[in-house]
A and B are shown apart, each in its own frame.
Chain A
Amino acid sequence: MTSVLYDVPGPKARRVSLIGSVIGTVLILGLLAFIVMTLAQQGIFEGRRWAIFTRADVWTLLGNGIGATLSAAAIAAVIAFPLGLMLCLLRISLVPWIRIPTRVVLEFLRGMPVVLMMLFVLLVFGTSSFIAVIAGLVLYNAAIFAEIIRAGIQSLPKGQREAGLTIGLTSFQSRMLIELPQAVRRMMPSLVAQLVVLLKDTSLGYIVAYGELLRAVQVMADFLGNAFLFPIFFVAAAIYIAINIVVSRIAVWIERRGSKKAAGGVAKAPTAVVAPELPDVPERK
């Protein structure tokens, strides 16, 4: 790997770097060994403690937890996205008495901890914790989606809207047909990144007693005894993190794909189009 930050290492620098790497690795391994030893002293690695994973009901409970996590995230995402689009349209409305209240609401929602919204819905409206989790996630993420899409619309060249209005579209039509599709596409990486945040935030459901993955861990540890807390927690955390890493990877992949396409698009865009003969413009379907 080369970097502009340092010279291509010569033999001496390579040696120093190698020694550094070895020392660093030894230190990290030493730290890990220390942790493992400490854990071993607590009897964490006794087979009996991990044997619970041979039991089907443990996996059933973990599976239920994962299902609850994913379904809350999926439902919240599906509701939050259109709501975000709508809030975005209201936020950039030309009518001040629509735009300004929307702005206040968005600032309010964005400045608020998600868990507070969940608790609010849970206690004030007396809903089930499932509804509370979804409502909290939807409100917060719709506000974020709205801001992301607004940033996308503002980043579009002015000519897009002007052209739309010129060919006789109304302001609303221009937003829906010309600007929003481009803005959503342009902001795809940020939108998917926000989906990862949404997925992570479902774990806040633990606090309002929603039966998601972490709650399942707690329940099992309470039921089976403290001895099993660490193994169960370890496995559940690994599952959670693995799911998130996969979704993050997808986000990165979409970003790469998107930027490649955009670059190709610009490169291929003709500088001037000379139509040899203007064909009859067919009616737009």
Chain B
Amino acid sequence: MEVIIENLPLYWEGLLRTLFLSVVSGIIALVVGTLLAAARVSPVAALRGFSTVYVEVLRNTPLTIAFFFAAIVLPRLGVTFQQFEVAAIIALSAYTAAFIAEAVRSGVNSVPLGQAEAARSIGMKFGQVLSLIILPQALRTVIPPLINILIALVKNSSVAGAFFVLELFGYGRQMANANGDQVMAVLLGVAFFYLLLTIPLGVLASTVERKVAIAR
């Protein structure tokens, strides 16, 4: 227990770094994922094809491979990063964007047909139909799955700890090495701080789900 209190500053630093990675990658992934979903239903065949291939490949790529690529393979190919955080953010957002694209697409599919037909019949173009009518409704229905994807993102950011980024998991490993006799306390501390992030998000997801369920 003392070992946790002694190292509280490190935990705090790690928590902030984990939060930073998750928030930045989460925002990038939300934007890219929504664009991919839009491309997936667009009239332009090339965009549809690109989006389909991207989502299919990235969803089936283990996150560790994405990290390995960004943090180890890219630098040896001449793409160097000032900080490994950049590599971590690239890997996390590229990976998460594929899941967000799938979730948003299923949201688009869940919007009743009449909505799009009505929008088209008053003369809206594809871009308008999607951005003014479909997406606002689609995003609303997929908020709970999106939050679940973000929870997974917070947990996935722990992989960054193994690729030269000192976040919660990275500090945890370091502290575990430094305090060989109290590994259990150190790691339970790390677990506690992860729960501090994931459980409130989970509660939020189920609350929103209930709210949406009532509204419908």
Chain A residues within CB distance 8 Å of chain B:
3-7, 9, 13, 17, 20-25, 28, 38-39, 42, 44, 107-108, 110-116, 119-120, 123-124, 196, 200-204, 206-207, 214, 217, 226, 229-230, 233, 237, 240-241, 244-245, 248
Contact = CB atoms under 8 A, between A and B. Distances in A.
Interface string B73-98: 10011100000000000000000000
Contacts of B162: 115, 206-207
| In the complex, the 5 A-B pairs of residues with the closest C-beta atoms, listed nearest first | A24-B46, A203-B62, A113-B158, A244-B60, A111-B198
B142 to A, nearest CB: 17
A69 to B, nearest CB: 9
Interface string B102-141: 0000000000010011001000011001100010000000
B45 to A, nearest CB: 5
A5 B50 contact: no
B208 interface: no
B56 interface: yes
Contacts of B161: 115
Given A113-B158, A214-B65, A5 B134 contact: yes
Given A124-B183, A203-B64, A39 B77 contact: yes
Q: Find the residue from B65, B120, B125 having the highest chain A CB count within 10 A.
A: B65
A134 to B, nearest CB: 16
Given A7-B120, A207-B159, A25 B62 contact: no
B9 interface: no
A21 B172 contact: no
B43 A17 contact: yes
Contact of B76 (A20, A201, A204, A230): A230
B191 A200 contact: no
B94 to A, nearest CB: 13
A146 B130 CA distance: 38
Contacts, number: 151
B50 A24 contact: yes
B190 A116 contact: yes
Contact of B116 (A5, A107, A200, A204): A5
Interface in B153-191: 155-156, 158-159, 161-162, 169, 172-173, 176, 183-184, 187, 190-191
B24 interface: no
30 contacts: A4-B116, A4-B117, A5-B134, A6-B120, A13-B43, A17-B44, A21-B44, A21-B45, A22-B46, A24-B44, A24-B50, A28-B50, A108-B191, A110-B198, A111-B155, A111-B195, A111-B202, A113-B155, A113-B158, A115-B169, A119-B176, A123-B176, A124-B184, A204-B159, A206-B68, A207-B159, A233-B68, A240-B65, A241-B57, A244-B60
A25 B60 contact: no
Q: Find the residue from A23, A115, A240 having the highest chain B CB count within 10 A.
A: A115
Contacts of A120: 184, 187, 191
A17 B57 CA distance: 25
A115 B187 CA distance: 11
B205 to A, nearest CB: 12
A230 B59 CA distance: 21
Given A115-B159, A120-B187, A203 B63 contact: yes
Contact of A229 (B57, B73, B78, B130): B73
B43 A111 contact: no
Contacts of B113: 4
Given A113-B194, A115-B158, A124 B44 contact: no
B27 interface: no
A119 B187 contact: yes
Q: Find the residue from A4, A21, A110, A240 having the highest chain B CB count within 10 A.
A: A4
B187 to A, nearest CB: 5
A240 B158 contact: no
B69 A237 contact: yes
Contacts of B19: none
Nearest to A237: B65
B44 A116 contact: no
Interface string B39-60: 0010111110010000011011
A120 B176 CA distance: 10
A200 B62 contact: yes
A111 B199 contact: yes
A116 B65 contact: no
A174 B133 CA distance: 47
